[in-house]
Amino acid sequence: MNVSMTINGEAVSREVEARTLLVHFIREDLDLTGTKIGCDTSQCGACTIHVNGKIAKACTLLAAQADGADITTIEGLAENGEHHPMQTAFWENHGLQCGYCTPGMIMASAAFVRDNPGASEDDIRHYLEGNICRCTGYHNIVKAVKQVADAAAGGA
């Protein structure tokens, strides 16, 4: 079947099998491998992307379900060559080690802070339940997200 969508501002159209998961479509058909796969059961959040501005785990959707959608992946988060503030905050706060959970973690956090400027540390820890990291103990991830949340509240 044919699916068409906008990914990172670019219109794409491909023939896929009906069973193709969105995450496989993004990684294998479009070669956007920044979106990762860390489990088979939708726990880990490594494949988190934005679909029409909302976060989604790309392993829980078929490519066909995203037909016509506007999708942003980690590769499309920076604007005009400038890192998104969440990317910068992860770098500045040592919020990543092996980097494998990082794209999903950043995509989830960026959407969360956009919708929840000024979120508390507790809010952030609770929200990040859907994204698993094995390296950082979440400490510096939470710190990075809090930094952006504080800045967002300050600017509001």
Partner 1 sequence: MALRSMVGANIKRKEDPGLINGAGKYVGDIKLPGMAHVAFLRSPYAHADILGIDRAAAESRQGVHAVITGADLQDKWETVPVAGGRKARANYSHYAISAERVRHVGEIVAAVIAESAEIAADALDEIVVDYAELPAAADLLTAYAGAAPPIFAGLDSNIVDTGEKKSDDVDAVFENAPHTLRQRMHSQRVAGVPMEVRAVLAAPDAVTGGLTLWTSTQIPHGVRSALAEALRLPENTLRVIAPNVGGGFGVKNQLYPEEMALAKLAQLHNKPMRWSGTRAEHFISTTHGRSQIADVEVAFDDEGRILGLRLHVIGELGAYPPFYDIAHLTGLMATGNYDIPAVHFKASNVFTNTVAVAAYRGAGRPEAIYYIERAIDLVAGELDIDPANVRRRNYIQPDQFPYKTPTGSTYDTGEYEKNLDTALRAADYHTLRTEQAQRRADDAGSLLGIGMATYVEMCGFGPYESGVVRVEPSGTVTVYTGTSPHGQGLQTTFAQVVADEIGADYDDIVVRHGDTSSQPVGVGTFGSRSLAVGGSAIVRASKVVREKAIKIAAHMLEAAPGDIEFADGEYRVKGVPGSSLSLSQIAKRAYSERLPDDIDTGLEGTDFFRPPDFIYPFGTHIAVVEIERETGLISLRDYFSVDDCGPRISPLLVAGQIHGGLAQGIGQALLEQVIYDEQGQLLTGTMMDYTMPRADDFPHFSLDQTVTETTLNPLGAKGIGEAATIGSTPAVVNAVMDALRPLGLRHIDMPLTPRRIWEAMQSA
1-60 residues in contact with partner 1 (CB under 8 A) are 17, 19, 27-28, 31-41, 43-44, 46
131 sits in the region (left: phi over 0; alpha: psi -120 to 50; else beta) called: beta
Of 63-122, which residues contact partner 1 (CB under 8 A)?
73-75, 77-78, 83, 87, 90-92, 94, 96-103, 106, 121-122
Which residue, among 77, 128, 134, has the nearest Cα to 105 in the 3D structure?
Answer: 128
# residues near partner 1 by CB under 8 A = 57
Interface pick for partner 1 out of 133, 147, 148, 149 (rule CB under 8 A): 133
What gap in Å lies between CA 115 and CA 27, rounded to an integer? 27
Q: Which is nearer to partner 1, 68 or 98 (by Cβ)?
A: 98
Judge contact between 109 and 148, C-beta under 8 A.
Answer: yes
Distance between CA atoms of 36 and 58, rounded to whole angstroms?
A: 9
User: 107 with 129: CB under 8 angstroms?
Assistant: no
Residues near partner 1 (CB under 8 A): 17, 19, 27-28, 31-41, 43-44, 46, 73-75, 77-78, 83, 87, 90-92, 94, 96-103, 106, 121-122, 124-126, 128-129, 131-142
